């Protein structure tokens, strides 16, 4: 069991980070309603986010939940996807990031233009999006704020878990019996596509053996030229 393996502390008074999660999600829903998008990758962060969204909405949420399917997700991730839909009773919209004209050939094929183009489609008409980014995940994320302006897209970006630690996440998951990706039990702290992800702490297992640290979704100026020109022309 994951909590035992990593010495998850026993239940205790909720840390301040718990309230920031609730308050930040509530603000996103109250301000944007159906025009806010939760990007879901079926990792431990989304287990917590989805559960809290449904709790503040008495079992319902107007938030659009979207996942980006690269076509090379782990079987365990696909199984977790089904678990999320069954447990939370939500419909998850799928944006296709596969490339029929050119088979997937590595992180630069998938994780830049194709994946970011799928994100752009996900956010069409949105006023805001919700992420599972946490400061603890690595140097590229340590300055993340709870609420930011996505200058590139002109919308708000909510990061309700930015102050949460790994222990906070596992405490919540076990306290509430939430479904989670079983790859976390196999040493995968961060889970991406099967060909590019190895077990590792933090994000060190992502794109192992390369200098890459981000897939492009949270990095400026990685949009496809056609996507940029299309938005700029609108």
Record the tokens describing residue 191, joined without a space: 């889970």
Q: CA-CA distance, 57 to 185, in Å (whole number)?
A: 30
Q: Which string of DSSP letters, residue by residue, matches 141-173? A: GTT--SEEEETTTTEEEE-TTTT--HHHHHHHH
The three-class DSSP label of residue 132 is: coil
- Looking only at the bridges linking them, the beta strands covering 155-158 and 147-150 are antiparallel
Count of C-beta atoms within a 10 Å radius of residue 211 = 5
Give the residue numbers marked as catalytic. Answer: 215
Q: CA-CA distance, 206 to 200, in Å (whole number)?
A: 8
């Amino acid at each position: 069991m994951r909590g035992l393996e990593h010495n998850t502390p026993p239940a205790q008074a909720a840390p301040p980070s718990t309230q920031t999660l609730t308050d930040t999600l509530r603000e996103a829903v109250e301000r944007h309603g159906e025009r806010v998008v939760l990007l879901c990758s079926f990792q431990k962060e989304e287990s917590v986010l989805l559960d809290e969204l449904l709790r503040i909405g008495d079992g319902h949420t107007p938030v659009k939940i979207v996942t980006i399917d690269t076509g090379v997700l782990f079987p365990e991730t696909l199984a977790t996807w089904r678990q999320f839909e069954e447990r939370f009773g939500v419909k998850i919209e799928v944006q296709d990031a596969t490339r029929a004209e050119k088979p997937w050939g590595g992180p630069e094929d998938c994780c830049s233009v194709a994946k970011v183009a799928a994100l752009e489609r996900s956010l069409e008409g949105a006023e805001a999006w919700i992420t599972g980014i946490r400061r603890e995940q690595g140097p590229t994320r340590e300055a993340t704020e709870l609420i930011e302006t996505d200058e590139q897209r002109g919308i708000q970006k909510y990061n309700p878990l930015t102050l949460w630690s790994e222990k906070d996440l596992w405490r919540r998951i076990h306290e509430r019996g939430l479904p989670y990706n079983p790859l976390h039990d196999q040493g995968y702290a961060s889970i991406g596509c099967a060909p590019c992800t190895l077990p590792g702490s933090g994000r060190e297992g992502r794109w192992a053996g390369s200098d890459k640290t981000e897939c492009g979704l949270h990095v400026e100026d990685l949009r496809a030229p056609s996507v940029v020109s299309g938005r700029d022309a609108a």
